[in-house]
Structure 1
Amino acid sequence: MRAAALLLLAALLLNTAVPSLAATQRRPQLTGVNIAGGEFKPARRPGVHGKDYIYPRDSDLAAFARAGVNIVRVPFRWERVQPGLSGALSTEEVRRLDSVVGSARALGLAVILDVHNYGKYAGRKVTEPAVADGLVDLWRRLALRYRGRPVVFGLMNEPAGIVPEDWRRIVDRVVTAIRATGARNLILVPGAKWTGAHSWTRIGGGGSNADAFAGFHDPGGNFAFEMHQYLDSDSSGTHPGCGGPDTGVDRLRAATAWLRSVRARGFLAEFGAGSDARCLATLERMLAFLDRNGDVWSGWTYWAAGPWWPASYDYSVQPSRTGGERPQMRVLRQHLAPSDAS
């Protein structure tokens, strides 16, 4: 394993304070891709591994390690990993996650474990007391298992239908439980309202994430606010095409200013664009903006790779079967963290 990769993995386990804003700006240091599949066919609980859902294969991890990424985000369904609320973890499912983490580490990659549940468990909202208790219990168990490993804790993918202040109270409990295990791993803290960067400071529908998370405290001092930002017409990542060349930059401006004002870090855990020239130019400008604001943007993971995406999925950066590189990956390559990033 490269010495620089070892430094990166070690840094994830440190009690890393927010860099001084007076320090020289640097580019985001954790840069990679989502490798989707573990969250597929969520209605099938638990479903059949290899038929309904899949985790990153060694060949997938190796391909992106060769491309120069240093982190992969791995979505999974809560119900598969923990079949009963506040119950034991599935031995079989956790073994699969262990395999991904081990293979990634051997390649010099860190892993984000992403609970890809949109603020629900089997259709029940996390604001229900039993479900909130269950999320606390899930992360207590995962933290005990993965503390000290090159693993980042992604608390919840895109919580929706939740008032930001209510979500903040649940996050406080989860983070406290993680730190009580002695885990010092980096924690990614999403907001409510699909955790959109473009809407982070926007008031309405129960308040803003900016107001709810002002003054947020992690006892371990090693967290970043997780945000997502797509470049299509409504920031959902479900439509073809992109806005003008500054669409991504404009949608990140307010969140970037907020991060700097509260002396916090952000992590852009999902963003994606189509493969046409207009989208590629828009993607390039957004990544350049993140580079210029590396004092607050600590990293990013593009959505998405994964071997089960159909050929029609225009956001995919999964290498083609003939080994060809996707157009978006050529743009991403220009903005990956340098190999000596730590």
Structure 2
Amino acid sequence: MLSSFPRTLRLVTALSLATCASVALATETDTKGIDLIGINLSGANFAPHITPGKVGTNYFYPEKKHFSYYAEKNIRLIRFPFIWERLQHDLDKGINFDQMRLLRKTLDQAARHGQKVILDMHNYARYKDQLIGSPEVPYEAYANVWRHLAEAFKDHPALLGYDIMNEPHSTKGLWRDAAQAAVHAIREVDMKTPIIVEGDRWASSFHWRMVNEDFLLEDPADNLIYSAHIYFDKDFSGRYAEEEVVGPMLGVERTRPFVEWLKEHGQKGFLGEYGVPGHSESMLLAMDNMLAYLNENCIPSAYWAGGPGWGKYVLAVEPIDGEDRPQMHILQKHIQNDCSDIGPQ
């Protein structure tokens, strides 16, 4: 979804810390398989143009009720967006204590509800509108903040992974080296936690092979998960500015290039964002078919979006007056699966 729009895995582990990271995504609950259906629990990424902003006014951290609702729905995979500029107000200054406290509180809430969290830096490969890798934002500044986050949270029981950047776009070829710098920095302090890496061009699954064909990074821990996003409107933006009727296999068609790339390169995948208007029967069907396709390939996904502050936003799945939204019924259909590890396999 484009940056002008406010944007904002529990892949439950076996309790043994000795279990390898990929198998650690398997669930130990009443559901079969691993946790393939997740939610973007958004709110902390709101109003990115107002930084640092005020929590509770410009942006929101989720409360207990948000975690409880999805836990009751057997959704335990959470992607959690946050803003770099709130975490670090200036590149030559340290990390903000209050934001670290709020991030830890979020992880604590997830742990109490048996959920796992992917920390997602929701910055589009930029800091204060300057590209990572430009003179204004050196690679090392970006690497440093991820090194700090990994050092702080690597042992938290609710941490599932690091999504090192949401939807890089128009990066002038700088994104690969930026991503590699973050991977190396994280591995200096954490060799066990999965690192989720999104591709250029807004991480579009449909355009993946056009712009990310050679986007293969080095990881000394061999624990990368590549992540793409997809929306179903005609411009791929997720704005859904017009009423559209789409074909039932549109979601499959738009995710297939990414899935085929993963298969050819022997990589694991994650669909980090997708969402449809709840009133569109054709798009709900297309989402249903897409999730079936992803489940066949054991690829987890996280719906956009839940959490505080959405109101009646047509993509949101927060209940209204206690009633589930139509998208939730589709998500529930795909929780059960036969997967033992993240795919495709």
What TM-score do the two structures reach when normalised by structure 1?
Answer: 0.87
Deviations 1:250-279 (A, max 9, x none): 111121111001000110000011112111
Match for residue 169 of structure 1 among 155, 174, 177: 177
Q: Which residue of 2 aligns with 1:205?
A: none
Structure 1 moving runs of 4+ over 4 Å: 8-11, 337-342
Match for residue 200 of structure 1 among 201, 208, 212: 208
Structure 1 unaligned segments of length 5 or more: list them: 20-25, 203-207
Match for residue 71 of structure 1 among 71, 74, 77: 77
Instruction: Give, in angstroms, the shift of residue 100 of structure 1.
Output: 0.6
Contact 1:232 1:242 in 2 (8 A): no
What letter matches 2:148 in structure 1? Answer: R
Aligned residue-pair number: 319
Q: Which residue of 2 aligns with 1:310?
A: 311
Q: Which residue of 2 aligns with 1:328?
A: 327
Match for residue 42 of structure 1 among 36, 39, 48: 48
Relative to structure 1, is the Cα distance of residues 9 and 289 closer, same or farther in structure 2, using a 3 angstrom cutoff?
Answer: farther
Relative to structure 1, is the Cα distance of residues 217 and 15 closer, same or farther in structure 2, using a 3 angstrom cutoff?
Answer: farther
Q: Which residue of 2 aligns with 1:231?
A: 232
Q: Which residue of 2 aligns with 1:22?
A: none
Q: How does 1:83-122 map to 2 (within 5 A)?
A: 83-85=89-91, 87-122=93-128
**Same amino acid, percent of matched pairs:** 32
1:142 is aligned to 2:149: yes
- More contact order relative to length (CA 8 Å, sep ≥ 6): 1
Instruction: Give, in angstroms, the shift of residue 73 of structure 1.
Output: 1.1
| Partner Cα separation in structure 2 for residue 323 and residue 30 of structure 1 | 25
Q: Which residue of 2 aligns with 1:269?
A: 272
Structure 2 unaligned segments of length 5 or more: list them: 1-10, 26-31
What letter matches 1:300 in structure 2? Answer: S
Q: Which structure has more helix as a fraction of its residues?
A: 1
| Partner Cα separation in structure 1 for residue 336 and residue 142 of structure 2 | 32
| Partner Cα separation in structure 2 for residue 175 and residue 9 of structure 1 | 25
RMSD (CA atoms) = 2.5
What letter matches 2:275 in structure 1? Answer: G
What TM-score do the two structures reach when normalised by structure 2?
Answer: 0.86
Contact 2:88 2:94 in 1 (8 A): yes
Instruction: Give, in angstroms, the shift of residue 45 of structure 1.
Output: 1.2
Secondary structure (helix, strand or coil) at the match of 1:54 reads coil
| Partner Cα separation in structure 1 for residue 65 and residue 338 of structure 2 | 21
Instruction: Give, in angstroms, the shift of residue 28 of structure 1.
Output: 6.1
| Partner Cα separation in structure 1 for residue 106 and residue 42 of structure 2 | 13
Range 263-272 or range 142-151, more displaced? 142-151
Match for residue 286 of structure 1 among 270, 283, 290: 290
Range 81-90 or range 50-59, more displaced? 81-90
